[in-house]
Structure 1
């Protein structure tokens, strides 16, 4: 689809309250999404919006494969590295930040290009999010403390007694979602499942968007994953992990679960060899990519164009 000048002008504002002419590029880690987004941004005069949960965190820019300084200079990039690793960043927080880009005019005159590997962020773009109650700090802090003291499985058993519908939808080791369900229940007296039944408003206009999901050949993707992790080590991934560890953060925080953090910190403590740490990190990345691919295959509908290579994305 050719983007006319007036469409570009509209894309930075709203069409019927929705962001028009958005380009969505999803795919598993190491599939070449960022390079494709930069090419499209240069072609259309676009602004790139991070749609990946880990690339939003500060400190771990190399380890999460954030765009390089050179790439950042070639096109406007938003929502990269803006979240302290001490924060448990949520889909709702990301969507509010994305909406803020529109309301503050930061996308003015630009085609919005959303790129990343977090399926829930794309779902929020297209479907909106349920309204959720405000959670007082004292309740949030209490459940974070209980998580540290008791662990996710004990809290999951508590959730099963207090809110069986929510517990049935959340795995017993999914600490962040377990705590979220408990704090919503205490704050509002209602199950998070009830709150989730009513979706909010989408951010992008489905009639004008162009959505692509990259489904690369498995063997090719494995090769890209391994080569990229080696490159991360050359660019200072070890130093990033050391800097993150020095912050002494709760290991349950999402940033502490970034692939490579656990493995490289274990090697730094002498618990495993560096060779073993690298192997484990590469295997974990492959497993993560497989989960992403499965999610995209099962959750993305016919509005998504499926391509084998990022080079097939042509606008």
Structure 2
């Protein structure tokens, strides 16, 4: 699937099946991806689980219309908020996109902050068996009514290791669904053969944006302010009007809970901005931990010392032979 492109000056570009750009939220991933798409005749593919949802544009900082017009973008805003989706579902969509992009002779550029997507893309992914609908309904109802602590307590009896390691309600619920439905732990299923990856790691240019903490925190604070100033409140209000279960991934996007509290007049605007900033910083820290532990071999770039256009030009030079 290695791309071979003409750069318009008679030279040929080759060497990587795809460019992968990971990084914490607000680190400038989308700007770098867009600059690279310009330089490499690329197609940008979303690798962020929240930017998949069509109802979540502003609160997830999905690329704006002007960026979408500059380069082809795929898998942004393609799902309804009521769709729980999964990593396996994402990979199936990606497989179709890769076939189309390769047929056009363009360079795939994956960008996002969902580390598990990148891991599955480059290392393969173990598909889990179908979960009994009754088990799924019970587990999700438990999460909706009792939150992560209730699910963790139930999981403790079946899979104490997962109960101790997992923090996120979605992953806790998934682990409980699997062990109750199959009699085997999620980890046991994941230890099995993962199958062939869609994009082997050694055929990809793998990049992680790793800015200084203070620089990232300033950008996160600005994003929180812009979310409230530029339509985020109306967007969350429309989402909440759908009256969806709180266990759905879309309902747990950063901004939904905080702006929901503002709409309910439980907090004022200043407090909503503070809570948004804190929640986003915490999320960025979790992302950085994942990248450090799971993507140690990926190349690190510091976006605070090099503008996206300059960084993209330097990266693009690797493709020209």
Equivalent residues of 1:50, 1:56 under 8 A apart: yes
Match for 2:283 among 285, 288, 297?
A: 288
What is the match of residue 5 of structure 1? 5
Q: Are residues 248 and 190 of structure 1, via their aligned partners in 2, closer, same or farther at CA, if it must alter by over 3 Å?
A: same
Structure 1 distance, partners of 2:228, 2:46, is 23
Equivalent residues of 2:47, 2:111 under 8 A apart: yes
Q: Are residues 135 and 223 of structure 1, via their aligned partners in 2, closer, same or farther at CA, if it must alter by over 3 Å?
A: same
SS of match in other structure, 2:69: helix
Structure 1 distance, partners of 2:144, 2:4, is 54
Match for 2:38 among 39, 42, 51?
A: 42
Deviation (angstroms), 1:6: 8.5
Deviation (angstroms), 1:121: 0.9
Structure 1 distance, partners of 2:290, 2:118, is 12
Equivalent residues of 2:101, 2:107 under 8 A apart: no
Are residues 1:232 and 2:227 paired?
A: yes
**Structure 1, residues 113-156: CA drift from partner, whole Å, max 9, x if none?**
00011111111111111131012433322322233344432332
What is the match of residue 221 of structure 1? 216
Q: Are residues 149 and 273 of structure 1, via their aligned partners in 2, closer, same or farther at CA, if it must alter by over 3 Å?
A: closer
Match for 1:184 among 147, 163, 178?
A: 178
**Structure 1, residues 284-315: CA drift from partner, whole Å, max 9, x if none?**
1122222222221222132x211111443421
TM-score (norm 1): 0.87
Q: Are residues 156 and 220 of structure 1, via their aligned partners in 2, closer, same or farther at CA, if it must alter by over 3 Å?
A: closer
**Structure 1 unmatched runs, 5+:** none
Deviation (angstroms), 1:10: 11
Structure 2 distance, partners of 1:126, 1:86, is 28
The number of equivalent residue pairs is 302
Are residues 1:97 and 2:96 paired?
A: no
Q: Are residues 291 and 166 of structure 1, via their aligned partners in 2, closer, same or farther at CA, if it must alter by over 3 Å?
A: closer
Q: Which is further off, 118-127 or 216-225?
A: 216-225
SS of match in other structure, 2:50: coil
SS of match in other structure, 2:139: helix
Deviation (angstroms), 1:158: 2.3
**Structure 1, residues 9-57: CA drift from partner, whole Å, max 9, x if none?**
999xxx9xxxx52001111111111011011111111111101111111
Match for 1:31 among 27, 31, 47?
A: 27
Are residues 1:147 and 2:113 paired?
A: no
Q: CA RMSD in A?
A: 2.5
What is the match of residue 207 of structure 1? 202
Match for 2:249 among 234, 248, 254?
A: 254
Equivalent residues of 1:129, 1:200 under 8 A apart: yes
Deviation (angstroms), 1:240: 0.3
Deviation (angstroms), 1:192: 1.6
What is the match of residue 18 of structure 2? 22
**Structure 2 unmatched runs, 5+:** 317-321
Q: Are residues 290 and 159 of structure 1, via their aligned partners in 2, closer, same or farther at CA, if it must alter by over 3 Å?
A: closer
